[in-house]
Each structure stands twice: as structure tokens, then as C-alpha cells.
């Protein structure tokens, strides 16, 4: 079951969908094997290819790097490693765009390009992972102040509030 927030805008939707290929709260991961990953990627219009085990591991590492980056962690070195020869590069001066390939590298390049463009326009700061460590679902924060931290108050927010309440009593 996915949280009930509306999807991210079109230019950020591929990032959100790829980042949400795992639903840790429900112990589900769509990138567990090459065939399952190929079906999931095709169903989400992210590519028509079957990754080999090494490529699949690279996709999972990229997904978690993406979530960490959107969570504000410094993963510059990891982003640059993924971007080597495939997409944008990060530097102290900001991101810069380079060329792309096909297959796993092409998918990562397209996602890095979307991330690059979202950072330039400032929209990336609205795409966030849920603050609940057992969830980390990516959601688009449409609140006026841009300060939402939970994918949904019905599940993760309520659990946090209950934990806080119980710790005080």
C-alpha cells in the first residue's frame, strides 16, 4: 500500500517512482532479481532491459544514494561516481550536464538529469524521503511552507506521535 499523497510533478515523477521501487515499511523491494526488476522498470516506463546481477546492485545503490541525497546527506562522491560518463556531474560550483548511454547507465543518466534540472529550479527540495527510518518513501511536499516530513500522517506520522507519547509516559 502506497501513501495517499499526490504524485510528484511530471519532471520529478521518474525520480519518485524509481526511489519508491522499495517499500521498506512493507518489506517489499521491486529490484530483488533481474527478471522482477526488468518487469518493474518496463511497467514504470523506466526502460526495456534486464539488468545483470552487477547492474541490479548498481541500481539499488543508486536508489539509496538518491534517497540519501534528497534527505540532505552529503553523497557528492557517490553521485559523481554514478555520473561518471553517464550524466551530470556535481562540483563545489553546482551541477553540470554531460552525455548519456543506454541500459542501466542510460537509466541512471536520465534520472540524474531529472535530478540536476530539479535542483537548478529548486524543485528537488520538495521531493523528500519520509523521515521514518523504516519507511523512507519518497513523497512530493506540496505544503505551503515545504516542511512536511512524513509520507503520510495516517501511518508514519501517527507512529512517530505514538512513540513520542509513550516515551513521555
Domain segments of the chain as ranges: 13-168
Q: Identify the H or E element spanning 109.
A: helix 103-121
Q: Region 86-105: what's the mean pLDDT?
A: 66
DSSP summary character for residue 152 = -
Residue 56 has what pLDDT? Answer: 97
Distances (CA, A) of 52 to 29, 31, 44: 17, 11, 19
Q: Please say if the pLDDT value at position 150 is more than 90.
A: no
Question: Which stretch of 5-19, 108-122, 153-167 has the lowest confidence by average pLDDT?
Answer: 153-167
User: How much is the pTM?
Assistant: 0.83
Look at residue 1 in the predicted model and tell me its pLDDT: 46
* Structure letter (DSSP) for residue 165: H
**What is the distance between the alpha carbons of residues 78 and 161, in angstroms, rounded to a whole number?**
34
pLDDT of 111 strictly over 80: yes
Nearest to 118 by CA among 149, 97, 143, 135: 97
What is the rounded average pLDDT of the residues 15-40?
Answer: 93
The CATH fold of domain 13-168: Jann2411-like fold (1.10.3300)
C-alpha cell at 157: 506520522
Q: What is the pLDDT of residue 90?
A: 67
The total number of residues shown for the chain amounts to 169
Q: Which CA distances in Å does 17 have to 8, 46, 72?
A: 9, 9, 19
Q: How confident is the model over 108-127, as a mean pLDDT?
A: 90
| Strand 94-96 to 89-91 pairing | antiparallel
Q: All 3 cell numbers of residue 134?
A: 523504516
Question: At residue 98, does pLDDT exceed 60?
Answer: no
Asked if 119 and 95 touch (Cβ cutoff 8 Å), the reply is yes
Q: Give the pLDDT mean for 97-106.
A: 71
Question: What was the pLDDT predicted at 113?
Answer: 86
Amino acid at each position: 500500500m502506497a501513501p495517499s499523497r499526490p504524485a510528484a510533478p511530471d519532471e520529478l515523477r521518474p525520480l519518485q517512482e524509481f526511489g519508491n521501487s522499495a517499500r521498506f515499511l512493507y518489506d517489499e523491494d521491486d529490484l530483488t532479481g533481474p527478471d522482477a526488476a526488468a518487469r518493474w522498470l518496463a511497467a514504470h516506463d523506466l526502460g526495456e532491459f534486464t539488468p545483470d546481477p552487477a547492474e541490479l546492485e548498481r541500481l539499488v545503490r543508486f536508489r539509496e544514494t538518491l534517497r540519501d541525497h534528497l534527505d540532505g546527506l552529503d553523497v557528492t562522491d557517490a553521485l559523481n561516481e554514478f555520473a561518471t560518463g553517464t550524466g551530470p556531474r556535481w562540483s563545489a560550483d553546482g551541477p553540470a550536464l554531460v552525455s548519456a548511454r543506454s541500459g542501466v547507465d542510460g537509466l541512471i543518466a536520465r534520472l540524474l538529469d531529472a535530478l540536476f534540472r530539479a535542483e537548478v529550479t529548486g524543485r528537488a527540495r520538495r521531493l523528500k524521503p519520509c523521515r521514518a527510518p523504516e519507511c523512507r518513501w519518497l513523497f512530493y511536499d506540496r505544503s505551503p511552507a515545504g516542511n512536511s516530513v512524513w509520507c503520510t500522517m495516517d501511518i508514519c506520522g501517527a507512529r512517530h506521535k505514538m512513540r513520542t507519547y509513550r516515551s513521555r509516559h
